[in-house]
Amino acid sequence: MFRGSYVALVTPFQADGDLDLGKLRELIEFQIENGTHGIVPCGTTGESPTLSHDEHDIVVAETVKAVDGRVQVIAGAGSNSTAEALRLTRHAKAVGADGALVITPYYNKPTQEGLVRHFTSIADQVDIPMVMYNVPGRTGSDMLAATVGRVASHPNIAAIKEATGDLRRTSEVIAACRAEEFVVLSGEDSVTFPMMSLGGKGVISVVANVDPKRMAQMCDAFDSGDYAASQRLHYELLPLACDLFIETNPIPAKTSLEMMDMLNGVMRLPLCEMGAENAASLRATLEISGLL
């Protein structure tokens, strides 16, 4: 079962824009040392749309190698082409990832029946736990609760990253997926604690890039039944959860890591540096949070 805090890891680039695998390994060690329960490379936060197929494969393989079984790895494997998502999922399986994160196809705007066929086609052909990813604000495609319920019983479909930020939707998804082993993970940091209160099991987190310890502690406290401590950590993390989205993710996350002297902040176009006013607001939040 997937459970706890999984970091949606940024992808480090060198000054010339090439992959920085040494820095990738450093970030992974930082995560593991601070209690993160799993690493998710090559998701949206990892700038997967700007990675070549070869780069995507390299980042996933290097992550699995660097983690070396100490925590789980859920490899980003989504595409708006079912055939391409299938190839990426097969690669995740081949290099030893613990799961594959597969987003709803973007831009195509498939019907609900098309979504069912997309996910079941991949799950039928690759024996790896799949985490579906629903983030309609990014994709233009919304996988409804009833549709999640149709595929949740598939033996290779293990979970969903639900990123609408809508607690009613979370309730509907959990109600539609009666199998105890099916997991709902938050894809929106600001509602992770409320989602766990409804039956969610954790988060695939952007905030964990900059504050992995408290995000993991929040999930651990909830899991152990210390709801007061978990709630306190939720409110401590809330300013970060807001300011890490004042511009398009992962711009604020990479900018934060640059301010923390952990990353050079390089992004690939069409992403670019933050505006000065937002950067000042972000710096203030990092200072208040004790991260600078």
Which residues are part of the catalytic machinery?
Answer: 133, 161
Q: How far is it, in rounded angstroms, from Cα 211 to Cα 6?
A: 12
Alpha-carbon span 220 to 234, nearest angstrom: 12
Q: How buried is 48 (Cβ within 10 angstroms: 0-12 exposed, 13-18 middle, 19+ buried)?
A: buried
| Whole-number Cα distances in Å, 281 to 16, 39, 240, 246, 257 | 28, 28, 11, 9, 15
Q: How does DSSP classify residue 106?
A: P
Buried b (16+ CB within 10 A) or exposed e, 153-179: ebebbbbbbbbbbebebbebbbebbee
CA distance 39 to 179: 25
Ranges of beta strands (E only) in the chain are 4-8, 38-40, 72-76, 99-103, 130-134, 157-162, 183-186, 202-205
Pick from 251, 260, 257, 258: which is nearest to 278 by CA? 251
SS3 call for 98: coil
Q: Give me the residue label for tokens 């766990």.
A: 196
Instruction: Calculate the CA dihedral of residues 47, 48, 51, 54 and round it to 10 degrees.
Output: 140
Query: Would you say 172 and 145 are in contact if contact means Cβ atoms under 8 Å apart?
Result: yes
C-alpha to C-alpha distance for 171 and 155, rounded to whole angstroms: 22
